Chains A and B, each alone.
Chain A
Amino acid sequence: MENSKKDIGLILAIAFASAAVSGSLVFFGLQFGNNNDLKVSVLDAQIDEAVERYVEKKQLEAEEQMAVAAEEETRNSAELAKNVMPISEDDHVFGNKDAKITLIEYSDFHCGFCKKFHPIAKEILAMYEGDVNWVYRHYPLGYPQRAAMEQALASECAGEIGGSEKFWEYAQGIFDEGPADDVALIALAEKLGLDGKAFEACLSNDKYLEKIAAQRQNGMDSGVQGTPGTFVYNNETGEVYLVKGAQSASMFANIIDEMI
């Protein structure tokens, strides 16, 4: 902001000087009868050229600064990504449990882009036929608003009662109906064949509140600032890369191909 003020000031100063010099030439030209038109037009062209050179130089400097900042952000992001928790027994894994690469997604059931990413992740797993699996971790953005946390708690209850398979079915069910505040959580559980009473009992004591908070904290510590935030994680080497947003399968493929 300060620099752009200075730039505007400088350009105005050049323009003012240009006007002053041109005016003087015209004035003195009229006095002494010289050929002023030619002199003014040559001077104007020189001033225009100087302004253009100055603007071009400033643009180059700004681009260089942006490139340096982007490089630094990438370096910081890579460093923070190392904090992401490797897969554990607490995770719900979709696909081959022994896959070399895992997509560790930090997600929020109340987020439209997370809903958009859900089929993309499935597409990626299909592309790599067992070499890539997928882990869903909670990062409720609407937190502490009720719906985002409640839906996250409900999905964990579905996983507790029906295993990881039901967790994923439940997650798909929430996304199919959402993003919405009023997903009928117990009805959805029953629709998927889960025991409604057991589900309600699980949901009513906030059993997974600490787990969800811990996942969200780990996401934040690892550089996730929005959802979906997906780490491409090499389970053999620990190499990890954060992809921000609901990016395309081909974009993920570029990273995965480098790791495999």
Chain B
Amino acid sequence: MKKIKLREGDQAPDFEIQDQEGDLRTLEEFNGKLLLLYFYPKDNTPGCTNEACGFRDSYDDLIRYVHVVGVSGDSVDSHQKFAGRHGLQFPLLADTKKEMIHAYGADGVFFSRRVSFLINREGTIVKIYEKVNPLEHPDEVMEEVAALQ
């Protein structure tokens, strides 16, 4: 399967994927809002827990500027437990077929790569975070979205 390489300025690929509650989430519902799609390898691993908990802790500030959505290849059930265990207030998309992961070029060998996409109100990718440090990423995103206002 040919690997996709998105660039800043590209239109964000559409998606229609279940979140941890089993509700279908689409790119369209975020039209008119700033959206951070963050791809991560696996629920419950140390890095992914740090990253998700970082977004959780900054959520009240972040939500003023941007919607945060996590994506991995884990199941709805796994996401539900992961979100429940750590009190995550934002959607985690269960891309079990890895179609969305592939569409965004986030594929790894077994898991999704850790990469994030900041998408503007028109659905255009304005920033790609290729090198993500899970501990620093939430602050990094906060600075970026505040500057975009």
Residues of A within 8 A of B (CB): 144-146, 149-150, 153, 203-207, 209-210, 213-214, 217
Instruction: Please state if B110 and A213 are interface contacts (CB–CB under 8 Å).
Output: yes
B residues in contact with A209, CB < 8 Å: 41-42, 45, 47, 110-111
Main secondary structure of the interface of A (DSSP, over half): helix
Task: Give the Cβ gap from B51 to chain A, nearest Cβ, in Å.
Answer: 9
CB nearest to B75 among chain A residues: A144
Instruction: Please state if B47 and A205 are interface contacts (CB–CB under 8 Å).
Output: yes
A residues in contact with B48, CB < 8 Å: 206
Interface centre among A146, A203, A206 (most CB of B within 10 A): A206
Instruction: Please state if B44 and A144 are interface contacts (CB–CB under 8 Å).
Output: yes
Instruction: Please state if B110 and A153 are interface contacts (CB–CB under 8 Å).
Output: no
CB nearest to A147 among chain B residues: B44
Instruction: Please state if A149 and B110 are interface contacts (CB–CB under 8 Å).
Output: no
Instruction: Please state if A145 and B44 are interface contacts (CB–CB under 8 Å).
Output: yes
Instruction: Please state if A144 and B46 are interface contacts (CB–CB under 8 Å).
Output: no
Task: Give the Cβ gap from B10 to chain A, nearest Cβ, in Å.
Answer: 26
Tell me the count of chain B residues lying within 8 A, CB to CB, of chain A.
Answer: 20
From the candidates B74, B109, B133, B134, name the one contacting A210 in the complex (CB within 8 A): B109
Q: Hey, what's the 0/1 contact readout for B22-46 against A, CB within 8 Å counting as 1?
A: 0000000000000000000111111
23 residue pairs of the A-B complex, CB under 8 angstroms, read A145-B44, A149-B42, A153-B45, A204-B46, A204-B133, A204-B134, A205-B114, A205-B134, A206-B42, A206-B45, A206-B134, A209-B41, A209-B45, A209-B47, A209-B110, A210-B41, A210-B108, A210-B109, A210-B110, A213-B110, A213-B111, A214-B109, A217-B110
The answer, yes or no, to whether B50 is at the interface (CB within 8 Å) is yes
Task: Give the Cβ gap from B135 to chain A, nearest Cβ, in Å.
Answer: 5
A28 and B41 CA atoms in complex are apart in Å by 84
Interface centre among B42, B46, B48, B134 (most CB of A within 10 A): B46
The answer, yes or no, to whether B78 is at the interface (CB within 8 Å) is yes
Given A144-B42, A144-B74, A144-B78 in contact, is the A206-B47 Cβ separation under 8 Å?
yes
A81 and B44 CA atoms in complex are apart in Å by 31
Task: For the complex of A and B, list the 9 residue pairs with the smallest distance between their C-beta atoms, beginning with the closest.
Answer: A206-B47, A213-B110, A146-B44, A205-B47, A206-B45, A204-B50, A203-B46, A210-B109, A209-B41
A145 and B42 CA atoms in complex are apart in Å by 11
A206 and B42 CA atoms in complex are apart in Å by 9
Task: Give the Cβ gap from B14 to chain A, nearest Cβ, in Å.
Answer: 28
Task: Give the Cβ gap from A149 to chain B, nearest Cβ, in Å.
Answer: 6
Given A144-B74, A144-B78, A204-B134 in contact, is the A150-B109 Cβ separation under 8 Å?
no
Instruction: Please state if A205 and B133 are interface contacts (CB–CB under 8 Å).
Output: yes
